[in-house]
């Protein structure tokens, strides 16, 4: 990260809205108020992502008693995304959705998002990667649950398409323990691929890991966000609550200024202290 460069901040709403636009708007409000740059959702074509056998399986939820009912209950459709698009424009937020199948990517294209996002589980979905790269839009790529050789293949796909990317170091455990963060992968990935590297987090600690990531040069921070970690949903426990967003943003926004330029200089305030306190004794 260049001196004083502020990281790009993405609030990952994902499916934490539980199919409720009021919840989605509450999170968007909090993200905008805290100073995030963007929000991100998740989009799936249920019948393309899951097998019929899986969808027919049992699952108790507020939407019914099958996996299909639960998965479809969590999906926003065209009416909701029209509302999201208008609401983000009103709030000055960028937005996108990580797509889990090519059909969802086609759906997203109608909103002309400013960037794409590849979720960690999709690094093995080569047709989706190639289709995304064809758009030529900057694409953030999370690297959780992937080996370096697999990341090599993904980077090559986007390079061949002349599509700009930013990798995001990620540990895909939900929630992630601080000791599993392995943040030194940020400079390693930057050196290996010659691209900007951010951090996508699922830890519940308020600022520690994200602050350390920015100090190590992360050019973007993505974090799952919820209004209440005890709500129904697979990602809620791996999220930070909206009431903590201001503290998170204040902490990570302060890091570039604190890092400075690396040039050893005496500023006016330190010169004043020097003039009062320094003793030069040679013998």
Q: How far is CA 127 from CA 105, 120, 201, 224, 260, in A?
A: 11, 15, 26, 26, 43
Residue 82 CA to residue 263 CA, distance in Å, equals 49
* C-alpha closest to that of 12 among 200, 217, 255: 200
Q: How far is CA 97 from CA 105, 119, 173, in A?
A: 9, 10, 20
Domain ranges in the chain?
A: 8-277
Q: What is the DSSP letter of 243?
A: G
pLDDT (mean) for 2-21 = 92
Domain 8-277 falls under CATH 2.60.40.10: no
Q: Look at residue 238 and give its three-state secondary structure.
A: helix
Question: Residue 61 contacts by C-beta under 8 Å, 6 or more apart in sequence?
Answer: 69, 70, 73, 232
The pLDDT tens digits for 132-167 are 999 999 999 999 999 999 999 999 999 999 999 999
Residue 58 CA to residue 91 CA, distance in Å, equals 40
Q: What is the pTM of this model?
A: 0.94
Cis before 175 (ω within 30): yes
**Mean pLDDT score of the chain:** 95
Whether the CB-CB separation of 149 and 169 falls below 8 Å is answered with no
pLDDT (mean) for 232-249 = 93
Pairing of strands 38-43, 139-142: unpaired
Residue ranges in 7-118 assigned as alpha helix (H): 21-34, 46-49, 52-55, 67-73, 78-91, 102-109
The pLDDT tens digits for 64-120 are 999 999 999 999 999 999 999 999 999 999 999 999 999 999 999 999 999 999 999
pLDDT (mean) for 219-244 = 94
* DSSP letter string, 101-157: SHHHHHHHHTT--S-EEE-GGGGG-HHHHHHHHHT---EEEE-TT--HHHHHHHHHH
């Amino acid at each position: 990260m260049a001196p004083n460069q502020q990281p790009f901040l993405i609030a990952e709403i994902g499916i934490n809205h539980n199919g409720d636009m009021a919840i989605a708007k509450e999170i968007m409000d909090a993200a905008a108020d805290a100073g995030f740059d963007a929000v991100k959702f998740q989009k799936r074509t249920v019948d393309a992502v899951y097998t019929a056998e899986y969808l027919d399986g049992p699952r108790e939820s507020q939407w019914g008693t099958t996996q299909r009912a639960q998965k479809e209950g969590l999906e926003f459709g065209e009416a909701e995304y029209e509302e999201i698009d208008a609401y983000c424009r009103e709030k000055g937020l960028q937005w996108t959705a990580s797509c889990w199948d090519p059909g969802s990517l086609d759906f997203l294209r109608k909103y002309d998002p400013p960037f794409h996002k590849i979720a960690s589980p999709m690094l093995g979905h080569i047709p989706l990667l190639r289709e995304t790269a064809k758009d030529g839009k900057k694409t953030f790529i999370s690297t959780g649950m992937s080996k370096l050789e697999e990341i090599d293949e993904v980077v090559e796909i986007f390079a061949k398409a002349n599509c700009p990317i930013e990798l995001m170091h990620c540990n895909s455990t939900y929630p992630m323990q601080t000791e599993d963060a392995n943040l030194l992968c940020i400079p390693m990935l930057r050196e290996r691929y010659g691209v900007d590297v951010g951090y996508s987090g699922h830890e519940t600690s308020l600022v520690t890991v994200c602050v350390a990531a920015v100090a190590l040069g992360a050019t973007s921070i993505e974090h799952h966000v919820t209004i209440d970690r005890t709500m129904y949903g697979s990602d809620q426990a791996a999220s930070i609550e909206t009431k903590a967003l201001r503290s998170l943003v204040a902490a990570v926004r302060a890091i570039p200024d604190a890092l400075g330029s690396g040039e050893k200089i005496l500023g006016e305030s330190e010169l004043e202290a020097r003039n009062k306190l320094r003793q030069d004794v040679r013998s």
